[in-house]
Amino acid sequence: MSSILVFCRDCGKQVPSSDTQDQLCLDCRVRRSMADLRDEHARLWRKRERYRSHNSANVVQIAHQIARVEDRMASRIRELVSNERRAGELLQRELEAARGQRYTIKGV
């Protein structure tokens, strides 16, 4: 099977044209689709840190909200990625990125 290779206009990686949409590779499409959920994740995380420093009972509630955002990230990735193993890898990466981001924010 011959497929044309194209450059992703975001990361510049060369990918088969069958994997691209709007000249974006799958990785970049997933990353872009996460933007709002990642912001939401960071916002909830900061809130949880605040409550935690006050020993507030709301911490548990916020933890549930964070889990819900992560569930939404998972289902959004599954909508974009039909290959289950690949979807799992990408979710892992996005969760690590989201959790990494909160450390960045925390360190500020």
Q: Which residues bind Zn ion (CB under 5 A)?
A: 8, 10-11, 25, 28
Q: Which is nearer to Zn ion, 43 or 86 (CB)?
A: 86
CA–CA distances in Å: residue 77 to residues 37, 86, 104: 12, 10, 24
- Minimum distance of Zn ion from residue 91's CB (angstroms): 17
Q: Helix 58-80 to helix 84-107 angle, to the nearest 10 degrees?
A: 140
Tell me the C-alpha distance between 38 and 105, whole Å.
13
CB of 103 to Zn ion, least distance (A): 25
Q: How far is the CB of 68 from Zn ion (least distance, A)?
A: 28
Select 23 or 61, whichever has its Cβ closest to Zn ion.
23
